[in-house]
Structures are given as structure tokens and as C-alpha cells.
Amino acid sequence: MFRSSPVLNFALAAALAAFALAALSPALLNDGDTYWHVRAGEWILDHRAVPREDIFSHTRAGAPWSPAEWLAQVAMALAWRAGGWSGLHLLFGVAAGLTAAIVAGALRARLMLTAAILAAVLGLSCVAGSLLARPHLLALPVMALWVAGLVRAREAECAPSWWLLAAMPVWANLHGSFAFGLALAAALAVEAMIAVKGRGPMPWRWGAFVVAAVLSALLTPQGIDGLLFPLRLLGMSGLQHLGEWQPSDFSAVSPFEIALLALVGVLATGKVRVPWPRLLILLGLVHLALAHGRHQMLLGVAGPLLLAPSLAVAWPRETERSNSLLGSLAAIALCGVVLLRLMLPVVRGDDAVSPVSALAHVPASMRVQPVLNDYAFGGYLIWSGVKPFIDSRADLYGDAFLTNYAAIIAADRRALDAALAEHDVRWTILAANAPAAKLLDTMPGWHRVYGDAIAVVHIKD
């Protein structure tokens, strides 16, 4: 049994809940990107280098491409080699647990228990939609640490600690969301300048920190290209065809909607007063979350931390006695979840991103021929050694390709005929309900060789 504080107990409880959710939830593997990220990590380990051109597709083979998430991909490959799918569950469970611990601990250090619970649950629940085995989840602990460090510096009315800069190169090699960290640091630097009306050394120290953060973000294999990559990606119009880049959906009640309504309700009471520069930052996060569903996680992690100082004025932390028993129980439960994950086998079969049975009905001699595939199947094809027509690397394919692909899948006959001819496509593997799959059923020279509830395979005569 070890000595612990109420803050540590709260952080451990949050870590346990988040770790268990990620480590034991089958939904963690519901994204086809997991497949190709692991394969990219294995390629990096085998060649001891980061690729500089496309090594996976047949439509963009040899085109310039270097994965910005190479460090996360290496971690995923190592976890896969060590423990298979269970190893990946544990890796991402640790990332989710660390994120929850950092956010919850920072909140509990400022807020009374009830307020800390509500803020942590409402905020972290916005990450639920992004709880997938992809690099962004491995970057979340670094994001939480970064935001917490910046907020603490603003509360203390000083510049951020220089040790925080060590987090930026790690973040920049894990995921492109590091650009958000740089933007937030710049925004809080402006907030600090406004607070002191530009007088004194603090604004200059904040400015120096931001410049140093930008320079440290250049410490990637891509250099300046890696720094500009997130901006180029956000500027792509073809992203509108991809689900995670579409606006947040309010057709059904979601954790994001509940959290957003709770935020509006709290601010409407007038009990919590947020300085206008901080409010503008929060509104910017809300805008990103509304514009792109994938950015809900940014608001969920950063939002509670940015609001914590204002919430603490209304609901300050009470004086409590430490309880080492609670901390010990949480630590023991955490070990129990790890053992449970290792004992329960992860068996993967046909699902929305894994057309296992459909691909099994494609002759080996045909698999090496050019294919037209469903976007969601690209990762599984790479995993299986098949070079896809398209996968989720939007930056590689570009706006024109993505827009044309959307027309192909929507059964635009002219676009489909042109793609089949241009890329000498010999077979297709499309979603069962894809309009293009139904069109192929009627096209001379093509015949269906397999179909199930997930995928349909056509082969050219």
C-alpha cells in the first residue's frame, strides 16, 4: 500500500476507466487504418528508415510520400509483434489511460470532487468517437500534458517551463495534431500579452517559447514539409468526401452534443466567468469540432483544461484527507485489467473494414493484378499484401483523385469506365451496398464471383 493524495486517487480512477475501455473494447479495431499503420511501422523497422515514396498502392506507386506519424507506426508495429491484437489493445489502453489521468488530475487539483467528475466525464466522453487504434490516440497524452503545462503557466502568470518543449518533437513525430499545440501556445501568448498590456518581460518570454516550440517541431524526418503538412491537409477540398472530416452529426444524441449543451448551460448561469481571450480560444475549438467530427477530441481534451481556472473560482477544491487504500485498489484493478486483456484472445473476422471472406475468394494470381477497392477496405488490402486503388492517405491521393473516386463509387458510368481503363483494373472489391458494385453487375465483360453482407467481388472476363 502506498501513500496517495485525493488528486492522485482521482487520476488513477480516471486512468483505470479509460484504460479498461480501450483495452477491452472491440470497437478499438473498427478502423481499417490500423492495418496499414502497422504495416508501415514494420517496413520502417525492417528498413531502419522512413519511406520517401508510396510503397503500398498501385495508383500512386512511387509518388512522394513520407508518413508524418512514423513514430506512432513504429510503436504500433512493436506492440503487434509483441502481442498481436491484444498488444495493440494494451498500447492504446495505456495511451487512453495516460490522457485521462493527466486531464482528470489537472481538474481535481483545482476543482471540488463533483465539478471535477462532471468536467472530466463530459470532456473525455468527446474522445469516445475517436477511440480507435490510430496514431492520433497515441498523441493524446502528449497533447494533454502540453495543454496542462500551458494553462498552469498562465495561472502562475509566467512563461511555460522550458522542459515542456521536449514534448513537441515527440508530438510532431506521432501525429499532425501537433499543429494545434503550436496554435494554442501562440493564442495563450497573445492572452498573456493582453493581460499585462504588453508590458514587462512575460510577453517576450512567451514569444520566445512559441518560437522555440516551432523550431522543435522541425525535428522530424520531413523537416519543414512536416511542419506544413497539417496546413496542407486542412486546405484539401477532397476531405469533404471522407466521413471523419465531415461536420459533426446531430441526427442522434451524442456525448459531444451533451457536453456542448452542458458548456452552454454553465456559461449561461453567469456563475462561471471566462476572460474574453480564453473564451475566443474555446469558441475556436468548438468551431473545429462542429466543422470536422474528428476534432471533437481536441475540444474534449483541451476544453476542460482551458476552462479549469474559471471553474475553480466557482467550485474550488475542498480540503480532503489522503486515502492510500483507494489508490492501492485502483492500481490493483489496473493490473487486473491488463491480465484480463492478455487472457482474452482477440479473434478478427469479417467486419466493415475487413472483407476477409471476400478476399479469400479472389485467386492468388488475381490479387497481384490492379484492383478497384472500397475506401474502407484499403487498409485491409495493404495488410494482406494487395496494392489497393485507394486507402486513407488523403494527402497522397490529392483533391482531384478523391473527388473522382467519389464519383466512381457513386456509379458515375463515365468516371468508372475511365478509371477501369486508365489503371487497367482487373478486379474489384467493393462494399455490398455500393452503387458502383450494382452497376458492375450490369456491365458487359464483368462478372460477380462472390458477395456477402460486407463486400462484393467482380472479375473482368
pLDDT tens string 399-452 = 999 999 999 999 999 999 999 999 999 999 999 999 999 999 999 999 999 999
Domain-located, residue 407:
yes
pLDDT at 2 over 60: no
Q: Same domain, yes or no, for 132 and 270?
A: yes
Gap between the terminal Cα atoms of the chain: 70
Shared-domain flag, residues 150 and 269? yes
Long-range contacts of 347-356 (CB under 8 A, 24+ apart): 348/29, 348/85, 350/452, 350/454, 351/30, 351/454, 352/30, 352/376, 352/454, 353/30, 353/31, 353/32, 353/35, 353/377, 353/379, 353/380, 354/32, 354/380, 355/380, 355/429, 355/454, 355/455, 356/380
Total domains, the chain: 2
Same domain, 297 and 442: no
Q: Which of 71-85, 284-298, 337-351, 352-366 has the lowest mean pLDDT?
A: 337-351
Residue 327 confidence class, pLDDT cut points 50, 70, 90:
low
Percentage of residues of the chain with pLDDT beyond 90? 82
For the beta sheet containing 455-460, the strands, ordered from the edge strand earlier in sequence to the opposite edge, are 371-373, 427-431, 455-460, 446-451
pLDDT of residue 94: 95
* 372: β partners: 428
Q: What pLDDT score was predicted for residue 325?
A: 67
Residues 270 and 123 in one domain: yes
390 within some domain: yes
3-class state of residue 370 by DSSP: coil
Give tens-digit pLDDT for 167-222.
999 999 999 999 999 999 999 999 999 988 867 788 899 999 999 999 999 999 99
Domain assignment of residue 42, yes or no: no
The answer to which of 158-172, 322-336, 402-416 has the lowest mean pLDDT is: 322-336
429 vs 367: CA distance, rounded Å: 11
pLDDT band for position 3 (cuts 50, 70, 90): low
User: Which pLDDT value is given to residue 203?
Assistant: 83
Residue 123 or 331, more confident: 123
pLDDT over 50 (residue 7): yes
Mean pLDDT of 89-111: 96
Are residue 180 and residue 106 in the same domain, yes or no? yes
- CA-nearest of 435, 430, 432, 434 to 459 is 430
Position 349 in a domain = no
When pLDDT is averaged across residues 286-300 and rounded to a whole number, the result is 94
For the chain, the average pLDDT equals 93
pLDDT over 90 at 280, yes or no: yes
Q: Which of 301, 336, 371 is the last residue of a domain?
A: 336
What's the pTM?
Answer: 0.93
pLDDT in tens, 241-263: 888 888 998 988 999 999 999 99
Would you say residue 188 lies in a domain?
A: yes
43 lies in some domain: no
pLDDT of 35-60, one tens digit each?
999 999 999 999 999 999 999 999 99
DSSP 64: B
| Domain that residue 421 falls in | 356-460
Phi, psi dihedral angles at 272 (to 5 degrees): -105, 115
**Residue 420 belongs to a domain:** yes
Residues 84 and 197 in one domain: yes
For residue 108, name the pLDDT band (cuts at 50, 70, 90).
very high
What angle do helix axes 33-47 and 70-108 make, rounded to 10 degrees? Answer: 120
Residue 118 is classified by DSSP as: H
Residue 311, in any domain of the structure: yes
Is there a contact between 148 and 305 (Cβ–Cβ < 8 Å)? yes
Domain end (from 283, 304, 336): 336
Q: Are residues 300 and 364 in the same domain?
A: no
- Final residue before a domain boundary, out of 270, 301, 336: 336
Same domain for 270 and 232, yes or no, is: yes
Q: Grid coordinates 488530475 are at which residue?
A: 105
Round to whole Å and give the CA distance between 71 and 169: 11
Q: Please write the tens of the pLDDT for every residue from 356-400.
A: 999 999 999 999 999 999 999 999 999 999 999 999 999 999 999
Are 228 and 291 in the same domain? yes
Regarding whether 102 and 194 lie in a shared domain, the answer is yes
Indicate if 214 and 259 belong to the same structural domain: yes
Whether 436 and 299 map to the same domain: the answer is no
